[in-house]
Amino acid sequence: MSREIVYRPEVKTDVDDAFRWYERQLAGLGEQFLQAVAAEVDRLADDAESYPILFRGVRAKMTVRFPYVIYFRVRPNRVEILAIVHGHRDPRIWRRRR
């Protein structure tokens, strides 16, 4: 069952910050990061429930190429993306975004 993907407003800042950092490392790498994250989020529309619940309904999915974690919650008709943060950041960051 494919669900709608919705993003918390803070996710834009998460992704924009990472994009800028990767672009400073190598031109075009930020765009590759965006494409990798978009591909992972697209997969969540179909298989979100296959990821275990971490805390109060929040699940997590690692991105394949970049060390980022997508924190999300499955709702009846949508997947709510709470945060997309580097894997070494404090994983509790998404708890403030409930």
For 19, phi then psi, to 5°, come to -55, -50
CATH number of the CATH domain containing 26: 3.30.2310.20
Whether residue 95 lies inside any domain: the answer is no
Whether residue 96 lies inside any domain: the answer is no
Whether residue 55 lies inside any domain: the answer is yes
Give CA angle at 48 (44, 49), nearest 5°: 170
Whether residue 30 lies inside any domain: the answer is yes
Residue 98 has pLDDT above 80, yes or no: no
- Token pair listed for 89: 């950041």
Whether residue 80 lies inside any domain: the answer is yes
Structural domain range at position 38:
4-88
Q: What percent of the chain has pLDDT over 90?
A: 81
Q: What's the structural domain count of the chain? A: 1
- Token pair listed for 56: 């109060």
Q: Looking at residue 73, what DSSP letter applies?
A: E
- Token pair listed for 77: 């008709």
Split at pLDDT 50, 70, 90, the class of 70 is very high
C-beta neighbour count of 3 within 10 angstroms: 17
